[in-house]
Amino acid sequence: MVNEAFDTNWVAPVGPHITAFEQEVADYIDVKGAVALSSGTAAIHLALLLLNVGREDRVFCSTFTFVASANPIMYQGAEPVFIDSEPESWNMSPQALERALKEAAAENKLPKAVIVVHLYGQVAKMQEILRICKLYDVPVVEDAAESLGATYFGIHSGSMGDFGIFSFNGNKIITTSGGGMLVSNSEKLLERARFLATQAKDPALHYQHSVMGFNYRMSNISAGIGRAQLKSLNGKVDARRSVYKNYVDDLTSIEGISFMPEYHGSFSSRWLTVMLLDQTKLNVTPEQLVTYLNDQMIEARVVWKPLHLQPLFKGTGYYSHSNDNHVAEKLYENGVCLPSGSNLSPKDQQRVIKHIKECLKHSIGREAVI
Ligand SMILES: *Cc1c(COP(=O)(O)O)cnc(C)c1O
Say if residue 249 is in the same domain as residue 348. Answer: yes
Total domains in the chain come to 2
Q: Which residues lie with the beta carbon below 6 Å from any ligand 1 atom?
A: 39-41, 65-66, 68-69, 117, 143, 145-146, 167, 169, 180
Show Cβ contacts of residue 242 under 8 Å, excluding neighbours closer than 6 positions. none
CA distances from 73 to 44, 80, 113, 133 (A): 9, 6, 10, 18
Give residue-wise pLDDT tens across range 225-273.
999 999 999 999 999 999 999 999 999 999 999 999 999 999 999 999 9
Q: Are residues 194 and 327 in the same domain?
A: no
CA of 178 to the centre of ligand 1 (A): 10
Q: Are residues 57 and 195 in the same domain?
A: yes
Same-domain status, 138 and 226: yes
| Residues 319 and 194 placed together within one structural domain of the fold | no
What sign does the dihedral 238-244-247-252 (CA atoms) show?
negative
What proportion of the chain, given as a percentage, has pLDDT over 90? 91
- Final residue before a domain boundary, out of 230, 260, 281: 230
Is residue 289 located within the same domain as residue 357? yes
Query: Which of the listed residues 169, 203, 230 is the one where a domain comes to its end?
Result: 230
- What is the percent of the chain where pLDDT is above 70? 94
pLDDT one-digit tens code per residue, 187-228? 999 999 999 999 999 998 899 999 999 999 999 999 999 999
Do 196 and 275 share a domain, yes or no?
A: no
Atom of ligand 1 nearest to the CA of 178: 7
Mutate to test the pocket of ligand 1, among 142, 146, 307, 340 (most ligand atoms within 8 A of CB): 146
Domain that holds residue 119: 2-230
- pLDDT of 366 strictly over 50: no
pLDDT at 369: 45
Active site residue 172: yes
Taking only the tens place, the pLDDT of each residue in 309-334 is 999 999 999 999 999 999 999 999 99
At 325, is the secondary structure helix, strand, or coil?
Answer: strand
What Å distances lie between residue 344 and 134, 200, 241, 359, CA to CA? 42, 43, 12, 21
300 and 161, same structural domain? no
The reported pLDDT for the residue numbered 362 is 74
For residue 3, the model assigns a pLDDT of 72
Of 179, 214, 230, the domain-final residue: 230
Do 187 and 250 fall into the same domain?
no
Residue 189 to residue 191: CA distance in whole angstroms: 5
Q: What is the 3-state secondary structure (H, E, C) of 292-305?
A: HHHHCCCCCEECCC
pTM check: above 0.75: yes
Query: 119-160: per-residue pLDDT in tens?
Result: 999 999 999 999 999 999 999 999 999 999 999 999 999 999
Amino acid at 22: E
Instruction: Please measure the distance between the N-terminal and C-terminal CA atoms of the chain and give it in whole angstroms.
Output: 50
